[in-house]
A and B are shown apart, each in its own frame.
Chain A
Amino acid sequence: MITRLMKDNGTPLKLTAWLMMLFLGILPVKAQTDSFVKTDSALVQLQHQFKQAMQLLDNEDTTKASPVWPNIDARLFYANLRKNLLHPEKINQGKATNFCGYAAITHILIKYRPLVFTKAILALYHTGQASFPDKTLQPSERIRQAVGTLKRKGELDVLHADQLWFLTLAEEFKGYVNIFDHKYKPGDENAIWAATNFSKFNRMLRVLGGFKTKSAGSDLLRPFKSNFYDYITSQLQAGVVLMYINSKYLHPSKYTLFKLRAPTHFIVLYEMYKIDDMIEIKYWDYGLKTEQLITKKRLRKLIFGVTTITEKNYEKN
């Protein structure tokens, strides 16, 4: 199988490199999923980052509690961090939270910037702050007390590294939707305090990952594209595609008379192709990739924003 994949790709990569890619979930079998890592040198750089990230984690004392985060269980924190690095597709925003934007960004960040993510989260854990070229994350006392205490969020209850990361991002990045609610209160993870609008989402991608992004659409108006299918498939060839969607059209039901025409959710799109009159999509959200059919009409109703990460700016970070 591996030999066949190597032949298909036409690049003489070694078996270890393939295994590393398998770990990272970036096997370049389909152009749509891997158009971001375009060259061998980029791939080698990514493998190197992943190795360094794992080494950083291996050097940690996983029993040592952090003085900054009183409610974090060190064992749960490190187990969560290791799982994230090995399986970035399993990142889960948790039940009933507004963390979808942060989860989608984290999924991409771990996949393509594992070292940046690991350094940042370990710095937050040990010192309570992490620096990026254009921003320093320094969560407040309210957040430091809240992390480790979230309940009734499904698996997120025991994912203390994810709680730290999502709550920190939600506090540190604010958009116009958060203007009336800046201070965290228990339960705000489900409320407008944690919400993410399209421009805030794109800003987070640029600041945290140093990614170059191209976007179409907005919080209110859909992208001005005559054919969404053609546009999105062309973007899948150009890079990593993230979409801002109305989730009511992802899981449609006819039980309600009224559907709010507004975006509600962020997903990472992996594949899109036509099957007869239908469109099959494969996307990531809630810790899994999903494969489903959708009509052209519903595709138009579904999408409000499309962001393409075209390349990474390595020098910047």
Chain B
Amino acid sequence: MKKINYCCILLLLAIWASSCAVSSERKSAAYYNKNKLAINQLRFYFDTLYSQQPFSAGFTDRSFKYYVMEVTTDTLRYIYNTEQSEAKLFETIKKFNYDADILRKMATKMKEIKCLWLDKSSFYIDNKKETVTFFSFKSVLVDKPFTENKYYTLIFLDKPIEHPAIKARVTKGELVKINDLVYFTIANHFR
């Protein structure tokens, strides 16, 4: 019995040591620059579909097998995923008349670059509404078990925002500027 306990402890130590040995380097501006083309393509697909009817989408699992889509109208939000009911999701896609070809391309591209979630979000500066697009990824460059549980979120602006509140967040390190229209942040949540 004692021997089994020792083996368990050794096994756990080995797992811990191997997880520490794995590079847990975070994604940064370099990741965006390296994948710029694919990310911009994804943005184009998302914006095209979003203009038909606002929605957000992502994956529910680590293996990027099951898609989830949240379609939002002014009063109702429909949440369906392929893990629970493909039929319901397809029904929703049909209901809102999304371009199936672009949707397929978007889904493929998301999987290709391992984008966990994409959405748009609004905030207010001096009582004026601003809307940004964001894409979330795992924060670490190499995704292994027991690595950092944070998310690399790319934020896309439609026009440059020069405001002390944004500058203050950049100075604090909450936001990192890649260029005038693209920022990233390391967040605790992916959506």
The interface of chain A, by Cβ under 8 A from chain B, is 73, 76, 89, 151-152, 154-155, 157-158, 251-257, 275, 278, 288-295
Q: Assess whether B75 is interfacial by the CB under 8 Å rule.
A: yes
Scan residues 84-120 of chain B and give those whose CB is less than 8 A from a CB of chain A: 84-85, 88, 116
For the complex, give the distance between the alpha carbons of A111 and B121 in Å.
28
Q: Assess whether B5 is interfacial by the CB under 8 Å rule.
A: no
Q: Are A152 and B79 in contact (CB-based, < 8 A)?
A: no
Q: Are A289 and B190 in contact (CB-based, < 8 A)?
A: no
Cβ-closest chain B residue relative to A292: B79
Cβ-closest chain B residue relative to A282: B76
Q: Are B88 and A293 in contact (CB-based, < 8 A)?
A: yes
For the complex, give the distance between the alpha carbons of A288 and B62 in Å.
29
Given contacts A155-B124, A251-B191, contact A278 B76 (CB under 8 A): no
Q: Please report the total number of B residues contacting A with Cβ < 8 Å.
A: 26
For the complex, give the distance between the alpha carbons of A157 and B62 in Å.
35
User: Out of B59, B75, B190, which one reaches A89, CB within 8 Å?
Assistant: B75
**A-B CB proximity, top 5 nearest:** A292-B79, A157-B124, A290-B77, A254-B61, A293-B84
For the complex, give the distance between the alpha carbons of A198 and B190 in Å.
28
For the complex, give the distance between the alpha carbons of A278 and B80 in Å.
12
Q: Assess whether B60 is interfacial by the CB under 8 Å rule.
A: yes
Q: Are A152 and B77 in contact (CB-based, < 8 A)?
A: no
Q: Are B88 and A155 in contact (CB-based, < 8 A)?
A: no
Question: What are 25 of the A-B contact pairs (CB < 8 Å)?
Answer: A76-B127, A89-B75, A154-B121, A154-B122, A154-B123, A155-B122, A157-B123, A157-B124, A158-B124, A253-B59, A254-B61, A254-B62, A255-B62, A255-B138, A255-B190, A275-B85, A278-B85, A288-B72, A288-B76, A289-B75, A290-B76, A290-B79, A292-B80, A293-B84, A293-B88
Cβ-closest chain B residue relative to A76: B127
For the complex, give the distance between the alpha carbons of A291 and B76 in Å.
7
Return chain B residues, CB-CB under 8 Å to A252: 60
Given contacts A252-B60, A254-B62, A255-B138, contact A288 B124 (CB under 8 A): no
Cβ-closest chain B residue relative to A286: B77
For the complex, give the distance between the alpha carbons of A154 and B127 in Å.
11
For the complex, give the distance between the alpha carbons of A97 and B80 in Å.
26
Return chain B residues, CB-CB under 8 Å to A157: 123-124, 127
For the complex, give the distance between the alpha carbons of A63 and B79 in Å.
41
User: Out of B79, B123, B138, which one reaches A291, CB within 8 Å?
Assistant: B79
Q: Assess whether B16 is interfacial by the CB under 8 Å rule.
A: no
Return chain B residues, CB-CB under 8 Å to A73: 127
For the complex, give the distance between the alpha carbons of A73 and B75 in Å.
27
Return chain A residues, CB-CB under 8 Å to B62: 254-255
Residue of A89, A257, A291 contacting most chain B CB atoms (<10 Å): A291
Q: How far is the CB of B167 from chain A (nearest CB, A)?
A: 15
Residue of B88, B138, B191 contacting most chain A CB atoms (<10 Å): B88
Q: Assess whether B31 is interfacial by the CB under 8 Å rule.
A: no
For the complex, give the distance between the alpha carbons of A213 and B121 in Å.
36
Residue of A73, A154, A251, A253 contacting most chain B CB atoms (<10 Å): A253
Return chain A residues, CB-CB under 8 Å to B149: 255-257
Q: How far is the CB of A190 from chain B (nearest CB, A)?
A: 12
Additional A-B contacts beyond A257-B149, A288-B76, A293-B88 (16; CB < 8 A): A89-B75, A151-B124, A151-B165, A152-B123, A154-B122, A154-B123, A158-B127, A253-B60, A253-B190, A255-B149, A257-B145, A290-B76, A291-B78, A292-B78, A292-B80, A293-B80
Q: Are A289 and B84 in contact (CB-based, < 8 A)?
A: no
User: Out of A154, A256, A290, A293, which one reaches B85, CB within 8 Å?
Assistant: A293
Return chain A residues, CB-CB under 8 Å to B165: 151
Q: Are A288 and B75 in contact (CB-based, < 8 A)?
A: yes
Q: How far is the CB of B183 from chain A (nearest CB, A)?
A: 15
Return chain B residues, CB-CB under 8 Å to A152: 123
Return chain A residues, CB-CB under 8 Å to B75: 89, 288-289
Scan residues 5-61 of chain B and give those whose CB is less than 8 A from a CB of chain A: 59-61
For the complex, give the distance between the alpha carbons of A254 and B59 in Å.
9
For the complex, give the distance between the alpha carbons of A293 and B190 in Å.
21
Cβ-closest chain A residue relative to B66: A254
Residue of A76, A89, A292, A295 contacting most chain B CB atoms (<10 Å): A292
Q: How far is the CB of B4 from chain A (nearest CB, A)?
A: 24
For the complex, give the distance between the alpha carbons of A290 and B61 in Å.
22
Q: How far is the CB of B83 from chain A (nearest CB, A)?
A: 9
For the complex, give the distance between the alpha carbons of A257 and B15 in Å.
15
Cβ-closest chain B residue relative to A276: B85
For the complex, give the distance between the alpha carbons of A89 and B59 in Å.
28
Cβ-closest chain A residue relative to B190: A255
Q: How far is the CB of B174 from chain A (nearest CB, A)?
A: 10
